[in-house]
Chain A
Amino acid sequence: NAGVTQTPKFQVLKTGQSMTLQCAQDMNHEYMSWYRQDPGMGLRLIHYSVGAGITDQGEVPNGYNVSRSTTEDFPLRLLSAAPSQTSVYFCASSYRPNQAEAFFGQGTRLTVV
């Protein structure tokens, strides 16, 4: 049972570089989301998707792009990394976000220098 898989686990970027955080789930969940976790601020919603081809913004979307071409994958793109994007990023999926358990990946620790 793979569940939600995130890659990479750790990443160091230089300011201005771009990269994509990968997220894949094998539970056939329609709903997927990205959160960032910073000390003292909990989990903040970046973007979410209710199905292939449908995405929407969360609480802190600036500086991040997403797309959803398949049910399984929901990548998060940083087009021009900034030190303020240093954080731990979690991907989650669920059957229904309002009524069912969210399954989280193991996280990606990103440092922007």
Chain B
Amino acid sequence: QQPVQSPQAVILREGEDAVINCSSSKALYSVHWYRQKHGEAPIFLMILLKGGEQKGHDKISASFNEKKQQSSLYLTASQLSYSGTYFCGTVPFSGGYNKLIFGAGTRLAVHP
């Protein structure tokens, strides 16, 4: 069962912030975040393994609330290069910890 991402789409001006949410109905072992540019393969951003964990990558960070099976991706002071589709991937405890299931994606457009 796919995790649910929100919002479906975001439009930003350069320098603005955004938050993308990911929610699962299953207990999660880990949450993964990827970004995909049009016509390209998805590229890894980060993995969160523990409840309460937060990670950062330049001005992109994420948090994981294991009690709520939710994760959020924070994009701060957005740049034109942040444009693309963001996917959260979840690995539930069920299924032998081997299934990486992605959400439907959030389209982000950053304009000058």
Contact = CB atoms under 8 A, between A and B. Distances in A.
Contact of A97 (B41, B87, B98, B103): B98
Interface in B46-68: 47, 49
Q: How large is the interface on A (under 10, 10 to 19, 20 to 34, 35 or more residues)?
A: 20 to 34
Contact of A42 (B30, B40, B91, B103): B103
Given A44-B102, A45-B101, A98 B91 contact: yes
A104 interface: yes
A104 B42 contact: yes
B13 interface: no
A101 B44 contact: yes
Interface in A92-113: 94, 97-107
A90 B40 CA distance: 10
A111 B79 CA distance: 35
Interface in B1-59: 2, 5, 29-30, 32, 34, 40-44, 47, 49
Interface of A: 31, 33, 35, 40-45, 48, 50, 56, 58-59, 90, 94, 97-107
